């Protein structure tokens, strides 16, 4: 069956530009998570959706980052005025009823 | 604040040898505990998890982990490593009473397997 799909797989942008990263979770999973993984580090939690609402956005680093999930399925992570420090792999995961997270392959963002 | 420590950044073993990857956590109470594996070009995959009950947990691919409350540890083991086990391994925890999916990850341990 289809897993978690993330697009684009790679994104190169210039400092100051706006970026959108998309996540398509496993069908039927109501919980969706965004993580950021910097080089040589473990993933860091950004935000969690239960349905359409953000249940916990405590991991978003600043107000340049926000995410939406308007219909309770696909989610978009949006980064304004990108900085070189935003370069990382952005991971999306959806959760099944047993509590297991299923991760996508990630979107690698490079800010020049 | 909670933290997860994986003391070994890189481990090399020979194929067929046993493996133990260490994980220690710092929490006020016993958290939910997880091990994930990440292979190049693939997403993170759950190997096993501990929520409660038997402290020795069996996972996929022949892995097991043991929760030791007195040591705040959740070490991952495999009796005989295969070349396909070469990957990066992450220990992760989630606070009880919060979402299972809000995880704090360790830095990861890269496993190299020699033939």
B90-B50-B85 Cα angle (round to 5): 40
What confidence score (pLDDT) does residue A46 get?
97
Percent of chain B having pLDDT more than 70? 99
Read off φ and ψ for residue B62, nearest 5 degrees. 80, 10
DSSP chain B: --EEE---SEEEEETT--EEE--EEE-SS--EEEEEEE-TTS--EEEEEE-SS-SEEE-GGG-EEEEEGGGTEEEEEESS--GGG-EEEEEEEE-TTS-TT--EE---EEEEEE-
What confidence score (pLDDT) does residue A75 get?
98
Query: Does the beta-carbon distance from A43 to B4 stay under 8 Å?
Result: no
Q: Give dist(CA A52, CA A94) in Å, integer.
A: 13
Percent of chain A having pLDDT more than 90? 88
Q: Which of B7-11, B30-34, B50-54, B98-102: highest mean pLDDT? A: B7-11
What average pLDDT does this structure show over B85-93?
Answer: 96
A53 touches chain B (CB under 8 A): no
What confidence score (pLDDT) does residue B42 get?
82
Query: Looking at chain A, which residue has its C-alpha nearest residue B41?
Result: A105
What confidence score (pLDDT) does residue A1 get?
55
What confidence score (pLDDT) does residue A104 get?
95
Which one of A101, A104, A107 makes the best mutation probe of the B interface by having the most chain B beta carbons within 10 Å?
A101
Which one of A99, A102, A105, A106 makes the best mutation probe of the B interface by having the most chain B beta carbons within 10 Å?
A99
Residue reference for tokens 């399925």: A73
Q: Which residues are bridge partners to B112 per DSSP? A: B12
A61-92 per-position pLDDT tens digit: 999 999 999 999 999 999 999 999 999 999 99
Q: Give dist(CA B95, CA B6) in Å, integer.
A: 18
Q: Give dist(CA A47, CA A45) in Å, integer.
A: 6
Look at A94-103, B5-14, B34-43, B94-103 and tell me which has the smallest mean pLDDT.
B94-103
Does the structure show a pLDDT above 60 at A39? yes
What does DSSP assign to residue A33? E
What confidence score (pLDDT) does residue A2 get?
82
What confidence score (pLDDT) does residue B1 get?
73
């Amino acid at each position: 069956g289809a897993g978690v799909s993330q697009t684009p797989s790679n994104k190169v942008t210039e400092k100051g530009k706006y970026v959108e990263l998309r996540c398509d979770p496993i069908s039927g999973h109501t919980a969706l998570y965004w993580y950021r993984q910097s080089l040589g580090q473990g993933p860091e939690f950004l935000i969690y959706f239960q349905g359409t609402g953000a249940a916990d956005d405590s991991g978003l680093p600043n107000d340049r980052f926000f995410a939406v999930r308007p219909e309770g399925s696909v989610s978009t992570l949006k980064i304004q005025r990108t900085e070189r420090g935003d370069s990382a792999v952005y991971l999306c995961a959806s959760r099944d009823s047993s509590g297991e997270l299923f991760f996508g392959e990630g979107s690698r963002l490079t800010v020049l | 604040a909670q933290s997860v420590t994986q003391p070994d950044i890189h481990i090399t073993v020979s194929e067929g040898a046993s493996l133990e990857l260490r994980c220690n956590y710092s929490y006020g109470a016993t958290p939910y505990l997880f091990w994930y594996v990440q292979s190049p070009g693939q997403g993170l995959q759950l190997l096993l998890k501990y929520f409660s009950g038997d402290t020795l947990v069996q996972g996929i691919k022949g892995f097991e982990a043991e929760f030791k409350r007195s040591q705040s540890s959740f070490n991952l083991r495999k009796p005989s490593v295969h070349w396909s086990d070469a990957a990066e391994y992450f220990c992760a925890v989630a606070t009880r009473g919060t979402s299972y999916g809000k995880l704090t990850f360790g830095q990861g341990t890269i496993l190299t397997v020699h033939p």
